[in-house]
Chain A
Amino acid sequence: MSLTQLRPSPQHAAPPPKPNRAKLWLYRFDTKATPYIFIAPFFIIFTIFGLFPIIFNAIVSLRTWRLDDPDKDGWAGFDNFSKLLSDSDFWNALYNTIGIFILSTVPQLLLALILANLLNRKLSGQTFWRIGILLPYLTPVVASTLVFAVFFARDSGMANWFLSLVGYGQEQPLDWRADKWSSWIAIATMVNWKWIGYNALLYLSAMQAIPKDVYEAAAVDGAGPWRQLWRITVPMIQPVVVFTVILSTIGGLQLFNEPMMFDENPQSASGGSAHQFQTIAVMIYKVGWKDLNLGYAAAISWALFLLILIVAAINATLTKRIGGDR
């Protein structure tokens, strides 16, 4: 704004030395067009890598596109979407996705909050702990999932060894992949392990911006640490909470690597012998690259996109209410 005010408008320009036309054009170009050029790279890249795939995907979802049957290519209207509504695999995948999402997101953010609160105190080796909790985030997800797959193995897995310490599964060790509840817990554990530290650091950075005197005043008024956390810290870091909630909603609903690699036979992308833990993202992969039905896969992708929009909106509204109405 200050720049535009400083600029003499053309009417008030001193007339005596006739304005150089080229210079004037350059001047105008500089003030009018340059800002757009500066922001253009983002929009160009977004159009190519963000907008185009979304639109292309929408077009594909309205077509029949089968790699194993090239002759069938053509417009399909809403066939793929109506197939989706009657596909029990899709509803099962939706159920799994939401189940694993709740099991992973809620404990993840709560634990991250508590962890951040602990790290916000005076500790010896503060930097060590703060960096330490970020390590799981730095581990490549494929590597960590492979380790977890062995951890949750039926025979001689470490998880079953822990269970045997409390006397569970002596005769028949728990097959983590066999049932919905056990496979969901295993997958949610992987997600939580990876993301708790990352979210804790985000919370921590926001907490450091809260003035200390607020806490002092609360302490004088007799508020304990738990009450301080919920009544002062959480409302004051609320924007960051909303951010992490939306981010983990997107990540949680798109869950792919963990259920894919956890499978006994990852090549099949079936998410367990009876699709116990097949998430929507895994189903998209299976339909697209195993059944070779790209049109239907695109339709499921769009359903997932809509689902994420809805859940993210609900979560954001709920989270805003936590702090805002107090």
Chain B
Amino acid sequence: MKHLGKSGLAAAAAAALLLSGCSGQSLEGNNDKAAEGAVTLKIAFWGDMGLDKLKTQYEAAHPNVKIVLNSGEYNAQHEDLQKKLVAGSGAPDISAIDEGFIVQFRSQADKFVNFMDKGGADYEAKYLPWKWKQSLSSDGKQIGLGTDVGGLAMCYRSDLFQKAGLPTDREAVSKLWTNWDDFINVGKQYTAKTGKKFIDSGTNMFNPVLSQQAVGFYDESEKLQMEGGPKVAFDVSMKAVDAGISANLASFQPNWDQGFKKDQFAVLACPAWMLGHIQDTAPEQKGKWDIAAIPGGGGNWGGSWWTIPSQGKNVDAAADFVKWLVAPEQQIEVFKTVGNLPSQPALYKDAAVLDYKKEFMSNAPTGQIFAATAEQLKPQYLGKKNGPTRVAVENVITQVQQGKLKSANAWAEAVKQAEKASTS
């Protein structure tokens, strides 16, 4: 009897759990419908996209709309979105997607609201053409409206440059390196004089150079093109590694963050959003950083879109909010708050962008610098397998930096790994 009593208790407890689970759900449902016509929009993104103030503003203007902001970790947010799309439910009403993931989601366009059906066609002319194209599926569905772009510039430590006897003025520094060979030569000078490394990693040479090429890993017919742009970028990165100017640090890792503080590198290819990262990682280096033009001109790294998963219940309200969010006033507001550069070229002529100076970066006119590089950019098609292919080639560069592979044999290995990734 005692045993029966125990298991009975357990069963009762289990039943109670099940019941409470159900009632919890129904309660939630009731709350949603409590206010007549009320709509709750859940927005997923990463880091800080400057939405806090805009949220209050929009809610005040639209009393029936409640906005819930969910800021998470960059990779986790994208992977979570992917899982919810597979599951068919649970996705946020609005989700930010970064350039690194846009290809993956573009090929699942059926799972997103097509902005072409929501009057999005009017927006095409407002955007940088390549930005518009990147989120466009092969059958012409527009899955998102662009918010920011990551126009590239070159950040440098003016204090370290001074010690090495290099010019520190941003105009003069820009003139030092009109192309990447010059850049590597400056690095050699720096390393010879100070005994310290110049750049953080060979992969951070490869990526910006690749983004400046007309064709990246894949052409528009999804064919792997290693001998074109990738070869140029790979050679530059190998030259830099062989010159001994690379600190061989993997980006965004603890070693890299330490590298900032310990002056292990003096330059960093930086898109607009990188400024926030430098500021967070090494706040004591305020005024020691400055921004010059990137060798070779132009280039893009990152930047995001606002998308609406079609499984949501309030897609119309979500579309209204996204359209409001990408309107000029709000984009400028975001630029001022967090520094993300808008993707609509008309705004690059706006005084608010042009006059903006970043105090942390020695008062550099970041608005002007980044706008200029974003406009110069040659559009590049990102293939379906762009992500895995890039990782495979980056790994080969890392192997060279680790001394596992001779730079002379590296290109053959890179081609082999890229081909493997292209069929993965």
Report which A residues bind B (CB closer than 8 A): 37-41, 67-70, 146, 149-150, 153-156, 175, 177-179, 264-265, 267-268, 270, 273-274, 287, 289-294
Is B376's CB within 8 Å of the partner chain A? no
> Interface digits, B401-424 against A, CB 8 Å rule (1 contact, 0 not)?
011100000000000000001001
Query: If the complex has contacts A265-B394, A291-B388, are A68 and B402 also in contact, measured as CB distance less than 8 A?
Result: no
Residues on B with C-beta less than 8 A from A268 are 391, 394-395
Does B104 lie within 8 Å of A38, measured CB to CB?
A: no
For the complex, give the distance between the alpha carbons of A118 and B387 in Å. 52
Residues on B with C-beta less than 8 A from A38 are 4, 7-8, 10-11
Report which B residues bind A (CB closer than 8 A): 4, 7-8, 10-11, 14, 75, 79, 82, 86, 103-104, 107-108, 110, 249-255, 258-259, 262, 264, 384-385, 387-388, 391-392, 394-396, 398-399, 402-404, 421, 424
For the complex, give the distance between the alpha carbons of A164 and B409 in Å. 32
Residues on A with C-beta less than 8 A from B110 are 70
Q: Would you give 18 A-B contacts (Cβ < 8 Å), ordered by A?
A: A38-B8, A39-B7, A40-B11, A67-B86, A150-B254, A155-B249, A155-B259, A175-B402, A178-B403, A264-B398, A265-B253, A270-B391, A270-B392, A273-B396, A273-B404, A274-B404, A291-B424, A292-B104
CB distance from A41 to the nearest CB of B (A): 4
Query: If the complex has contacts A178-B403, A265-B394, are A67 and B108 also in contact, measured as CB distance less than 8 A?
Result: yes
Does B11 lie within 8 Å of A41, measured CB to CB?
A: yes
Does B82 lie within 8 Å of A274, measured CB to CB?
A: no
CB distance from B206 to the nearest CB of A (A): 13
Partner pick for B404 among A67, A156, A178, A289, CB 8 A cutoff: A178
6 closest A-B pairs by beta carbon, nearest first, are A264-B250, A273-B398, A178-B402, A38-B7, A291-B424, A268-B391
Does B391 lie within 8 Å of A289, measured CB to CB?
A: no
Residue of B nearest to A45 (CB): B14
> Beyond A149-B254, A175-B403, A178-B403: 13 further Cβ-contacts under 8 Å?
A38-B7, A67-B107, A67-B108, A68-B385, A156-B262, A265-B250, A268-B391, A270-B395, A273-B402, A274-B404, A289-B79, A290-B387, A292-B104
CB distance from B133 to the nearest CB of A (A): 18
Interface of B is mostly: helix
Residue of A nearest to B6 (CB): A38
Partner pick for A41 among B10, B387, B388, CB 8 A cutoff: B10
For the complex, give the distance between the alpha carbons of A154 and B250 in Å. 11
Does A274 lie within 8 Å of B395, measured CB to CB?
A: yes
For the complex, give the distance between the alpha carbons of A155 and B404 in Å. 18
Residue of B nearest to A154 (CB): B255
For the complex, give the distance between the alpha carbons of A290 and B82 in Å. 11
Does B108 lie within 8 Å of A68, measured CB to CB?
A: yes
Residue of B nearest to A37 (CB): B11
Residues on B with C-beta less than 8 A from A177 are 402
Does A155 lie within 8 Å of B264, measured CB to CB?
A: yes
For the complex, give the distance between the alpha carbons of A153 and B75 in Å. 23
CB distance from B6 to the nearest CB of A (A): 9
Does A287 lie within 8 Å of B402, measured CB to CB?
A: no
For the complex, give the distance between the alpha carbons of A53 and B14 in Å. 22
CB distance from B46 to the nearest CB of A (A): 13
Query: If the complex has contacts A149-B254, A273-B404, are A69 and B10 also in contact, measured as CB distance less than 8 A?
Result: no
Residues on A with C-beta less than 8 A from B392 are 270
Residues on B with C-beta less than 8 A from A41 are 10-11, 14
For the complex, give the distance between the alpha carbons of A82 and B310 in Å. 36
CB distance from A146 to the nearest CB of B (A): 8
Does B399 lie within 8 Å of A273, measured CB to CB?
A: yes
Does A267 lie within 8 Å of B402, measured CB to CB?
A: no
